[in-house]
Amino acid sequence: MSRGVAGRRPFPPEIATYLVKLACELPDLAGRSLSLWTCAELARSLIRDEVVTTISPQTVQRILASYRLKPWRVHHWMSPKVPRDQDFRRRVLDILDLYTRALGPDEIVYSVDEKTSLQPRSRTSPTKPARPDLSPVRVEHEYVRKGALQLFAAFNPRTGQVLGICRRRKRQVEFLELLAEVERSTPASIRVIHVLCDNVRTHHGKQVRAWLERHPRFQFHFTPVHCSWMNQVEQWFSILQRKRMTASNFEDLADLEKKVTAFITEWNQTAHPFDWSETSFTKILDKVEAELRAAA
């Protein structure tokens, strides 16, 4: 029996079966050059394949809803090429420790990364503010490209304070400039500066390793591969993107740098840490433990 919706005629079972089978295939495998299915595209395919003579996207949606199927949604998952092994578990627990344990009076933690390719995108006409007649902010569609900046930032998970510098390029040289800024900003009473970052070469190349040998206060901690979400500075980058870079209109690179720097200053005036706890890592640690038990 096909599943129907209350108050509506039941769907012909052969149509529902064909639709569900199609929705559970990637569009490329079904001969469609699409990334994801939508209800309209599924309806079009049903008609093209002569399963029906006509069907609306709304009917397609009702059929899929009865099977709790939403093929237009995307969930990113970790590649099996990156095993959840003992090393993965160790790194996760190390990050959990950095975020949740009580730090000693001589310790500080920074979550560090780069937000790349910040573009001025100068509009050809000035942006117009909202008006009381319910007119929204109006942003000129046309813009001129004027290069890009890379933002190097260090986020303090305990206070929410941010240190940041903008540079034209993303190399070890620029990354070391950020570390030097962290060094200058950290009192001498702090003997251990924990730095959490990802695994790109910019963070552990030859120049960086040589610099760390001369600055023993710094201790680096690396996220597991494909786990950038564990780096809290990424959460702050999303705030920057939403509050400062949406509908952007900067005169040039100098104007962009000035306003990003001003945003950091304003953020720091009311900075707050993010609410991370042991439960933030529970799901992934449970998966690690399950895979370790299965491999034993």
Taking only the tens place, the pLDDT of each residue in 205-254 is 999 999 999 999 999 999 988 888 899 999 999 999 999 998 888 999 99
In the structure, what pLDDT confidence band is assigned to residue 106 with cuts at 50, 70 and 90? very high
173 neighbors 247 (Cβ within 8 angstroms) = no
Strand 218-222 with 192-197, pairing: parallel
CB-based contacts of 226, cutoff 8 Å, min separation 6? 78, 79, 82
* Average pLDDT for the chain: 91
In the structure, what pLDDT confidence band is assigned to residue 78 with cuts at 50, 70 and 90? low
At residue 75, the pLDDT reads: 82
CA 246 from chain centre, in angstroms, equals 16
Residue 208: other Cβ atoms inside 10 A: 20
- Decide if pLDDT at 3 tops 60: no
Burial class (CB in 10 A: 0-12, 13-18, 19+), 255: middle
* DSSP run (H or E) holding 255: helix 253-269
Residue/partner pairs of 55-59 with CB below 8 Å, 24 or more apart: 55/15, 59/11
**Across 98-110, average pLDDT:** 96
CA 228 from chain centre, in angstroms, equals 8
**Across 48-76, average pLDDT:** 93
CA 130, CA 120: separation in Å to the nearest integer?
22
| 196 three-state secondary structure | strand
Please give the single-letter amino acid code of residue 225. V
Span 86-130+137-290: which CATH code?
Answer: 3.30.420.10
Please give the single-letter amino acid code of residue 91. R
CA 144, CA 119: separation in Å to the nearest integer?
10
Burial class (CB in 10 A: 0-12, 13-18, 19+), 242: exposed
pLDDT of 31-40, one tens digit each? 999 999 999 9
Residue 121, sorted as left (phi over 0), alpha (psi -120 to 50) or beta, turns out to be left
Using a pLDDT cut of 90, give the percent of the chain over it. 71
CA 294, CA 296: separation in Å to the nearest integer?
6
pLDDT of 258-281, one tens digit each? 999 999 999 999 999 999 988 888
Q: What does the block give as tokens for 231?
A: 């780096």
pLDDT of 177-198, one tens digit each? 999 999 999 999 999 999 999 9
Please give the single-letter amino acid code of residue 282. T
* pTM higher than 0.85: no
Map out the domains of the chain as residue ranges: 13-66, 86-130+137-290
In the structure, what pLDDT confidence band is assigned to residue 292 with cuts at 50, 70 and 90? confident
CA 237, CA 50: separation in Å to the nearest integer?
48
